C-alpha cells in the first residue's frame, strides 16, 4: 500500500509528437499573406511535473525542440517560398487533473485526464528560407531570430501503468504574441497545434 506521505510529488517526463504550424504574417503596411500554407513538423520534450500540496493541481517546467514551417506560391509570377525553422522552447505550466487516483492508494491500470495551460519562450536554433532555387539563412533575421513568446492551452489523457510509470497523450493549442509597438513594422506570429505522446517516471516512489 502507498500512503499519502509517499504520494507522487515529482514526475520526470519525456514526450514526442507532431506540430501543425502556420504563420500569421503582416508586412510593414499591415497587409497579410493570404496564401501561406502550414506544415507538419516534429517535437521532442523533457521536463518535470510536480503536484501542489498533494492536490489535483500540478506545476511543470520543461524544454523542448520544435520545428515550424510554412510555404507560399505565386502562380502569376511563378515564385515558390518555403520556411523551415527550429526552436528551443522553454516552458512552465499548470494543470488540473480530474479523476486523480486516491491519495492513500494509487491503483495501476487506471485513467485520468487533465486541462493544462502554459507560457513558453522559444529561441531560434536554425532556420532556412527557400525561394525558388535559392536558400537563405534566417539567423540574424529580426522576424525569426528573436525570442518568441507563446500562450498555450489544451488537455491530456493519463494512463497509470503502475504506481511509478505513467503514459499519456496530450493536445495543446498555441499562439505567439508580440511585445511592444509594431506599427509600421513587419509582424510574424505562429499558430500551433501539438499532439504528443509521453512517458513519465516518478522520482518519489520505490519502483514497483
pLDDT average, residue stretch 64-78: 82
pTM of the shown model:
0.84
Whole-number pLDDT of residue 142: 78
Least confident of 100-114, 130-144, 152-166: 100-114
C-alpha dihedral over 167, 201, 44, 109, to 10 degrees?
0
For the chain, strand residue ranges (E) read 10-26, 37-51, 57-74, 79-98, 110-131, 134-137, 148-160, 165-177, 187-202
Q: How far apart are CA 14 and CA 103, in angstroms?
A: 24
* Dihedral (Cα; 110, 47, 23, 82), 10-degree rounding: -110
Percent of the chain with pLDDT over 90: 50
pLDDT reading at 133 higher than 80: yes
89-93, 100-104, 164-168, 181-185: which is most confident: 89-93
For the record, the C-alpha cell of 120 comes out as 513558453
Mind listing the pLDDT tens digit for each residue in 168-198? 999 999 999 887 666 667 788 899 999 999 9
* The CATH number fitting domain 11-202, selected from 2.40.160.20, 3.10.129.10, 3.80.10.10, 3.40.50.1820: 2.40.160.20
Residues of the chain with pLDDT > 70, as a percent, come to 81
Separation CA 185–CA 178 (nearest Å): 12
Q: In the predicted model, is pLDDT for residue 116 greater than 60?
A: yes
Residue-wise pLDDT tens digits, 11-26: 999 999 999 999 887 7
More confident residue, 197 or 37: 197
Amino acid at each position: 500500500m502507498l500512503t499519502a506521505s509517499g504520494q507522487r510529488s515529482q514526475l520526470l517526463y519525456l514526450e514526442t509528437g507532431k506540430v501543425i504550424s502556420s504563420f500569421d504574417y503582416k508586412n510593414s503596411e499591415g497587409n497579410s499573406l493570404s496564401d501561406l500554407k502550414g506544415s507538419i513538423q516534429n517535437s521532442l520534450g523533457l521536463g518535470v511535473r510536480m503536484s501542489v500540496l498533494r492536490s489535483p493541481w500540478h506545476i511543470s517546467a520543461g524544454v523542448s525542440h520544435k520545428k515550424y514551417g510554412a510555404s507560399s506560391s505565386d502562380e502569376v509570377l511563378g515564385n515558390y517560398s518555403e520556411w523551415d525553422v527550429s526552436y528551443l522552447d522553454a516552458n512552465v505550466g499548470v494543470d488540473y487533473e480530474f479523476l486523480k487516483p486516491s491519495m492513500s492508494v494509487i491503483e495501476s491500470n487506471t485513467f485520468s485526464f487533465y486541462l493544462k495551460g502554459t507560457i513558453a519562450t522559444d529561441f531560434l536554433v536554425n532556420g532556412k528560407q527557400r525561394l525558388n532555387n535559392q536558400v537563405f539563412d534566417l539567423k540574424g533575421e529580426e522576424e525569426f531570430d528573436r525570442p518568441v513568446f507563446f500562450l498555450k492551452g489544451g488537455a491530456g489523457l493519463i494512463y497509470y501503468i503502475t504506481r511509478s510509470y505513467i503514459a499519456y497523450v496530450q493536445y495543446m493549442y498555441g499562439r505567439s504574441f508580440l511585445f511592444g509597438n509594431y506599427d509600421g513594422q513587419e509582424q510574424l506570429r505562429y499558430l500551433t497545434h501539438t499532439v504528443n505522446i509521453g512517458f513519465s517516471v516518478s522520482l518519489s516512489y520505490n519502483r514497483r
